[in-house]
Amino acid sequence: MSEKKACIKAYHEAEERYAMLEIKYFSKEQSSLINSNVIKNMKIFGVSPDITIEHDNENENEGIYIIEFHDDYNKKSENFFEKIIKELDIGSCSI
């Protein structure tokens, strides 16, 4: 029997000039997929958000990829986040 893999999950928060997307991953493969997707889209959109990766202390394969925009006057984060969510095939995003 094959092991069932958890889907990548996302949480989005935004207010005035601040926007944040947290992406929870459950395997090293998902982590690599998220990282390559974010880097690719940073180049496409010409953005440099703050990025933090928090690894789970109890399971080295799991963690949270946090992408933050501060002083996002032009709302560049909106299209950037939307493209990442679509490309990672995240079905729904918690708000």
- With a pLDDT cut of 90, the percent of the chain lying above it is 66
Asked if residue 57 belongs to a domain, the reply is yes
Asked if residue 55 belongs to a domain, the reply is yes
Q: What is the C-alpha to C-alpha distance for residues 67 and 77, in angstroms, rounded to an integer?
A: 9
Asked if residue 67 belongs to a domain, the reply is yes
Asked if residue 2 belongs to a domain, the reply is no
Give the total number of structural domains in the chain.
Answer: 1
* Strand positions, DSSP E, the chain: 9-15, 18-25, 50-55, 63-69, 93-94
Range of the domain at 67: 9-94
**51-65 average pLDDT score:** 93
| Residue of 75, 86, 85 lying closest to 15 (CA atoms) | 75
Asked if residue 47 belongs to a domain, the reply is yes
Please identify which residue in the block is written with the tokens 């997707």: 37
pTM of the model: 0.86
